[in-house]
Amino acid sequence: MNAYSAMRQYQTVNNEAQALEANPHRLIQMLLDGGLTRIAQARGAIERGWTAEKGELIGKAVGIVGGLRNGLDFDKGGELAQNLDRLYDYMIVKLTEANVHNDLARLDEVANLLREIKSGWDAIAP
C-alpha cells in the first residue's frame, strides 16, 4: 500500500467515524463539504488531463448532490425544499455537462452554488 492509498483509507475511516457521531445538521454540513472537495479535486483532474479520475470525482459529486436532494423533506420544507430540489437537479445537470465537456466554468458554477447553500446552512443553529 503506497502512502496515497493509506491516506485515502485513513480519510474514509475518519469520515465514517464522524458520520456515525454526527447529528443531522452536521451530516448535511459534511455532505456539502464533501461535494465541494470532490468538485475541487475534479477541477484539478481536468487541469492535469486525468480523465478517469475526473469522471470518478464528478460522479461522487453527483452522488453527494443527489443525496442532498433525496434528503429533502417536502412536508416540512415546503417551498424552500421545492426550490432546493430544482437547484440540486440543475447542479446535477451542470456537473454532468462539466464531465462531458471538461468544463471548468460549470464546475465552478456548481461549487459557488454549494458554497452559498453551505453558508446559509452553517448559519443555522443545529
Query: What confidence tens digit (pLDDT) does each residue in 20-73 have?
Result: 667 988 999 999 999 999 999 999 999 999 999 999 999 999 999 999 999 999
What pLDDT, on the 0 to 100 scale, is given for residue 6? 47
In CATH terms, the fold of domain 24-123 is: Four Helix Bundle (Hemerythrin (Met), subunit A) (1.20.120)
Find all residues with CB under 8 Å of 18, minimum gap 6, and list them: 26, 30
Helix axes of 51-70 and 24-48: crossing angle, nearest 10 degrees: 160
Q: From CA 109, how far away is CA 105, in angstroms rounded?
A: 6
The proportion of the chain whose per-residue pLDDT surpasses 90, expressed as a percent, equals: 78
Find all residues with CB under 8 Å of 103, minimum gap 6, and list them: 97
What pLDDT, on the 0 to 100 scale, is given for residue 16? 58
Instruction: Evaluate whether 60 touches 38 at the Cβ level (below 8 Å).
Output: yes
**Domain boundaries, given as residue ranges, for the chain:** 24-123
Instruction: Evaluate whether 124 touches 25 at the Cβ level (below 8 Å).
Output: yes
| pTM summary value | 0.84
pLDDT confidence band for 3 (50 / 70 / 90): very low
